[in-house]
Structure 1
């Protein structure tokens, strides 16, 4: 461009600068995401903990006016006592139970083949031909497969004991990051939410609806799913323990895990055990297990979920199932929360879009 040539139009220069700045914002945001990616899980659970315990923190802060740091520390102490410490105790007990159970399988004290044939032998004569037609009367192949899988898993675990010790350090670092972040999110959460809402390139109504939906679904997922799963697993484990069934803690944890999946639930654990009890002559134990499983464990979801979630938005069960399984596949354990939250935001986004289209059509009409 020569000194005599005209300068570029002002609006063209402004668009170029805005476009460059927008690209720079995206680049810096991606770089920041890559920097914090190693602590993704810690950040995620720090946000979840802050969202779930925010109402508790607000009540504590209302009783301690002007002492925001002390209120956040007290809330963090409650989180440690109510969540972190029990989780460590349960994990240690579960590891001990799994090791004990594996030892019994290896010694032959627990023999899946014998258990299976005990059930087959106890079946009525009229039912055995149907079982034989299903081709499941030979259980030795499954026994060998299960035994090989357990042996391989524990051998790998023992062979990598040193690596596990090293990863324990990383775990405690991540736990420290989660608690540290949760403290500041509890203390400054309202201010941060306003800043994020102001920076989001959305209309005010859209921002409010999406933020509210995110908070509602996160709390509903934790309170209405994980808390219910803990209660169901605890009740199931206690019932198994009272009936003298070995590995009660392990079965209780399995029931809690399966209860997170709406279409499966705890019945996938207690029904086969009840069938085995009936087939082996432990009739009263089987009756107790069926009654407790159907009336107590099964009703926990219907009783507790409305109390814990209230009128919060609830995603259809089939969407919860698919999004939870997909989240577990993509994100591991974190997918239990990430999957349903993404599904809920997807539904909320399309609801907002549909409402905007409806308002636009009404305005044109």
Structure 2
């Protein structure tokens, strides 16, 4: 019997290289896929973007302090402890003023309730200071007698404050307060995680920036962080300074609750051009009590303090740390606040920094 030779196995052919056109299509498809996935992820966490942004702003502002604390021998390697202490400090800086305000409001609630009941029954008597006004006495007196001097329970405004309206307003205020508390809690958690990551997080961000945009991109990111840090420093330092100076003025003019008013003024002064609201209301209260000289003096002194702080001190503090001109600092703060709200106070100068860097690279 003749044996057949074993059949030869077919040799595997080498894979043909991918054509260049196919490679371009694959890269384009991958880019579209990556962009779509990033946009989808951002859409999923859209309600927490502002929370992460606030945590990032605070972390950038406190980053030099974090690195300095890590340098101490007792804190070496204890990143969780450092993160917990710094996060707790931020929480107390927010909770304590709010708590003081609530306690003070509760103390005044009884007197306000008695005053409100008296106004409902007898109306609000016209202050004597109105009769001493240089002009408009007759018009103001007539309006006051027609709208406020009569018992307020019969006025149209008081009739509109029925129980349903009050309950609706209460539910709306409660919902807003609960949402704000939840946002603040998530912000603290995010801030703790950022602090705990420490240098690893900053190193990863800088490495990613260099890999994606080169050394110029990493330097731009560092300058934007410096702009945010300088803006926070300028807003906080100037706000505290205005609060102290106007607190002295409150004490001199004899206003009640000087410490609380100074604290509220300092918080308001951290926002551009918001301090006049506080000392303006205080001046009106002094005027209604017959202290015309004190009201005028407080208004003039407060206007001078705010003018110097907002137009000279704050732009200089921010501009020196960000190397931005005065006008761009002012535009960045005001334009950012108008576009993005409170968060825009810090985003605006950072964007102005990008603009200056791009312009410098263009003209060189």
Q: How does 1:155-170 map to 2 (within 5 A)?
A: 155-156=167-168, 158-159=170-171, 170=182
TM-score by length of 1: 0.70
Residues in 2 aligned to 1:232 and 1:292: alpha-carbon distance in whole angstroms: 11
Matched, 1:255 2:262: no
Deviates more, 1:227-236 or 1:191-200: 227-236
Matched, 1:90 2:100: no
Residues in 1 aligned to 2:279 and 2:313: alpha-carbon distance in whole angstroms: 20
Match for 2:192 among 180, 183, 188?
180
- Cα shift at 1:19: 0.7
Once the two structures are superposed, what CA deviation does each residue of 1:234-288 show, in whole Å capped at 9, x if it has no partner? 55456546755356566446534543454x3423332453355356432564466
Residues in 2 aligned to 1:265 and 1:56: alpha-carbon distance in whole angstroms: 28
Q: Structure 2 regions of 5+ residues with no counterpart?
A: 1-15
Residues in 2 aligned to 1:246 and 1:145: alpha-carbon distance in whole angstroms: 33
In 2 relative to 1, CA 188–29 (structure 1 residues): closer, same or farther, beyond 3 Å? same
Once the two structures are superposed, what CA deviation does each residue of 1:166-211 show, in whole Å capped at 9, x if it has no partner? 75884575145223323234342331222331343x35324422x1
Q: How does 1:209-288 map to 2 (within 5 A)?
A: 209=220, 211-233=221-243, 236=246, 239-240=249-250, 243-246=253-256, 251-252=261-262, 255-256=265-266, 258-262=268-272, 264-274=273-283, 276-278=285-287, 280-283=289-292, 285-286=294-295
Residues in 1 aligned to 2:293 and 2:174: alpha-carbon distance in whole angstroms: 47
Once the two structures are superposed, what CA deviation does each residue of 1:59-82 show, in whole Å capped at 9, x if it has no partner? 2233339x654156336414523x
2:5 is matched with: none
Q: Secondary structure at the match of 2:255?
A: coil
Residues in 2 aligned to 1:155 and 1:249: alpha-carbon distance in whole angstroms: 33
* 1:72/1:186 contact within 8 Å kept: no
Q: Secondary structure at the match of 2:78?
A: helix
2:133 is matched with: 123
Q: Structure 1 regions of 5+ residues with no counterpart?
A: 1-6, 329-335, 360-365
Instruction: Name the Cα RMSD after superposition.
Output: 4.5
Deviates more, 1:56-65 or 1:88-97: 56-65
Residues in 2 aligned to 1:240 and 1:278: alpha-carbon distance in whole angstroms: 13
* 2:52/2:187 contact within 8 Å kept: no
Deviates more, 1:160-169 or 1:95-104: 160-169
Matched, 1:70 2:61: no
- Cα shift at 1:296: 5.8
Deviates more, 1:36-45 or 1:163-172: 163-172
Residues in 2 aligned to 1:312 and 1:267: alpha-carbon distance in whole angstroms: 27
2:348 is matched with: 343
- Cα shift at 1:55: 0.9
TM-score by length of 2: 0.70
* 2:55/2:188 contact within 8 Å kept: no
Residues in 2 aligned to 1:42 and 1:291: alpha-carbon distance in whole angstroms: 39
2:219 is matched with: 208
Match for 2:59 among 43, 50, 55?
50
* 2:209/2:217 contact within 8 Å kept: no
